[in-house]
Structure 1
Amino acid sequence: MSSQGSVPQRTHRGQPDKHRAIAQAARAVFGQKGYSGASVDMIAAEAGVSKRTIYNHYQDKEQLFLSVILEGSAEVAETHTRIADRHLRKILDLEEDLVAFALEWASSPTAFAGHFALVRTIQAEAARIPPAVLEAWQDTGPRAFKQELARYMSQMADHGLLAFDDADTAALHFYLLTFVSVAQRSFYGAIPIGEAEITQLVVGGVKAFLRLYRPDSGERETSDRVRRGWVLR
């Protein structure tokens, strides 16, 4: 493939409606047919445009897939960052606030069904998708938000609420124990699961995380005195 995973050059000025139609069609077709099963002809038919029109906007199928996955990843990461700020910027009770954050975070795939259909495509066809596309997706979405989560974890550790050697590892473990636990159970939103089961998975994940990273009892007594009402910077 010729685009080598490069970020698409936008050539659609003056045609926002047509570009939007192509992007929506691509998201739907890639989500339904997968990366290898989708074709530019299918996307053109879904969008109600000619194949030539798509090539006026995108160099090839790889670039089109990259465009829609990056657009969705950026939007999801921004939403996740707002969720984290809402729940983790001010800690009143560490376990309760982590559970509240993880519950809203883990429920987000249902709000971005089209994007997470593409994530399922990536999970199923990673070997067929160009590595540069996979790396760009990680950098824009999952990896970017995990860095933001690590920042919150670091500040919790600074206030004595958590204890670890590496914030990135702690953030990864929290991600695996909460968000991924729910996402894998629901196949990233493909199979609805009940609120009670989501809560059970999240609460169990948070408790496991705190068993790993909460300070020992001697340190915890000090951290309990400072945890109420402080605000992350």
Structure 2
Amino acid sequence: MPTDKQRTLLDGALRLFARDGYARASIDALAAEAGVSSRTIYNHYGDKAGLFRAVILDSSDHVAERQIALADALLGRVVDLEADLVEFGVRWATPEPDFAPHFRLVRHIEADLDNIDPATVAAWHERGPLRVRHALAAHLGRLSDAGLLAIEDPLLAAVHLVHLTATSVAAVPDADREAVVRAGVKVFLRAYGA
């Protein structure tokens, strides 16, 4: 658990990295954004790369925990499979305001891979997207074991569910979100229905 000073630094660095990306963020700008000295960054994280790694892993943990909790709440107690998948998809696809800096940072990572340590990218992928995918796959696997779905590869099914319900909704107006998610769930159930 980060100390108060580390939390302040991580939060400030997340804001700056999300706004400017890794390559354009300087130690001095990071220190100013967090309200600390550049020496504090070096003392706690060694360098900009160390701070960036700490920021993306901390942010990924926060987002992953919330996404996994959503999957646990909605897919851990399925009553009406289609309705519960639609509710899951709508809630998953509804932007969480406090996730915005994280997802801006992710877009910067994807655009700036040449400047970021591959081990940091791999650690982020493992602690964030893959962790969530495995949790979602576990729920889908249990639904398959219960005879509600017919899934051979739960990890692949998790990718399909997210792409059909959440990824496809990113640019859709809020008023149309549920209809698009409902259509995605119907396609998912055609592919994986028992």
Q: TM-score, normalised by structure 2?
A: 0.92
- 1:179 lines up with 2:158 in the alignment: no
SS across alignment from 2:29: helix
Equivalent residue, structure 2, for 1:135: 122
Residue correspondences, number? 194
Give 1:201's match in structure 2, choosing from 156, 180, 183: 180
Partner letter of residue 15 of structure 2?
A
Range moving further from structure 2, 103-112 or 164-173: 103-112
Unaligned ranges ≥5, structure 2:
none
2:156 aligned with 1:169: yes
User: 3-state SS of the aligned residue for 2:166?
Assistant: helix
- Is 2:48 the partner of 1:69? no
Structure 1, unaligned stretches of length 5 or more?
A: 1-9, 186-192, 216-233
Q: Post-superposition shift, 1:18?
A: 2.4
Q: CA deviation at 1:94?
A: 0.8
Structure 2 CA distance, aligned partners of 1:181 and 1:111? 21
Q: % of aligned pairs identical?
A: 45
**Kept in 2: contact 1:109–1:116 (CA 8 A):** no
Q: In the aligned structure 2, how far is the partner of 1:95 from the partner of 1:81?
A: 19
1:108 shift after superposition: 4.2
Cα distance in 2 between the residues matched to 1:21 and 1:154:
39
Please give the TM-score of this superposition, normalised by the length of structure 1: 0.77
> Hey, which bits of structure 1, 4+ residues long, moved more than 4 A?
none
* Alpha carbons of structure 1 residues 109 and 130: separation in structure 2 relative to 1, 3 Å: farther
- CA shift, 1:127, in A, is 3.1
How far apart, CA to CA, are the structure 2 residues paired with 1:65 and 1:106? Answer: 27
How far apart, in 1, do the equivalents of 2:121 and 2:193 lie? 34
- Matched residue of 2:112: which SS? helix
The RMSD of aligned alpha carbons is 1.8
Is 1:54 the counterpart of 2:33? The answer is no
Q: Residue 99 and residue 111 in structure 1: after superposition, are their counterparts in 2 closer, same or farther (change >3 A)? A: farther
Q: Structure 1: how far apart are the matches of 2:83 and 2:159?
A: 20
More helix by share: 2
